[in-house]
Amino acid sequence: MRSTLEKYKMSRDKTLAPKVEAFADHHIITPPNTLRRAIRRVVDRDLDDPVARAEQALAGLSGEFKSWMRSECDRLADAHAAIVKHGFNEQTRSELFRAAHDIKGDASTFGFPTAGAAAESLCRIIDHAPDLDRVPPDLIRHHIEAIQAIVREHNTIDKAGVARELSSRLRGIADDYLMHVNRDRPDHLEAIAAPSIVPAD
């Protein structure tokens, strides 16, 4: 841990006045580069590889990924149950979106990329449906059940390519629905049709 004196020096450095250049309609501000202290020159033969070390540490966590994925699925099911019970409101919508969004972002890391694809499709419905109360309840339910099944039956259906097919079909149905209900909303149509910045695997 750093000493109090070091912390004080660091916070003092951060308050050093930045260089300010004034122009007609903007200022260019160059703050003092306090992070430069962390850069170190090493010999080209340096064998230390922090990325490899981190990948190894991540692999060490992989034994927990399946149980993490199950708990993410439970969270998604709970969020869906709240919507079935109370309908869509700001809180229930937000919880369902964040649960699906977390699976979308984390599933590939946890070894469940097809579950992530199905979760992405669900996120798109929540993001782009003009009125969530009018989304066919089965469309949402099928997404959630598919994600649960992909995780639960990971070792069987993923090998057979069923999981990929399931996610792909759900995405097709969801996209058809979204294109239809957004036919008069060009900004949403553009966003729905835009390619993802994450390359497909």
Partner 1 sequence: MFRIDFNKLRFLVCDDNPHMRRILRTLLHSFGAREVYEAEDGATALEMYSHYVPDIVIADWAMPIFDGLELAQMIRQPDSKGNPYAPIIMLTGHSEKRRITMARDAGVTEFLAKPISAKGLYLRIMSVVAHPRPFIKTKNYFGPDRRRNTTVAYIGPERRNGGEAEILQQPSLMDKARVTS
| Least distance in angstroms from the C-beta of 55 to partner 1 | 5
| Least distance in angstroms from the C-beta of 14 to partner 1 | 5
- Can you tell me the distance from the alpha carbon of 82 to that of 155, in angstroms, rounded to the nearest whole number? 30
Does 74 interact with partner 1 (rule: CB under 8 A)? no
> Which of 66, 93, 98, 154 contacts partner 1 by CB under 8 A?
98
The burial class, CB within 10 Å (0-12 / 13-18 / 19+), for 56 is: exposed
Torsion sign over Cα 140, 141, 146, 148: positive
- Amino acid occupying residue 182: N
Residue among 88 and 110 whose Cβ is closer to partner 1:
110
What number of residues does the chain have?
201
Cβ-based neighbours of 61, under 8 Å, separated by 6 or more? none
- Can you tell me the distance from the alpha carbon of 117 to that of 108, in angstroms, rounded to the nearest whole number? 9
Cβ-based neighbours of 111, under 8 Å, separated by 6 or more? 62, 65, 66, 69, 154
Residue among 16 and 160 whose Cβ is closer to partner 1:
16
In the range 151-180, which residues lie near partner 1 by CB under 8 A? none
- The alpha helices in 62-136, defined as continuous H runs, are 65-86, 90-106, 113-128
Draw the binding track, 15-54, toward partner 1 (x: CB under 8 A; -: no contact).
Answer: x--x--x-xxxxxxxxx-xxxxxxxxxxxx-x-x-xx-xx
| Least distance in angstroms from the C-beta of 69 to partner 1 | 9
Binding site for partner 1 (CB under 8 A): 1-2, 10-11, 14-15, 18, 21, 23-31, 33-44, 46, 48, 50-51, 53-58, 60-61, 68, 71-72, 94, 97-98, 101-102, 104-110, 116, 120, 123, 191, 194, 196-199
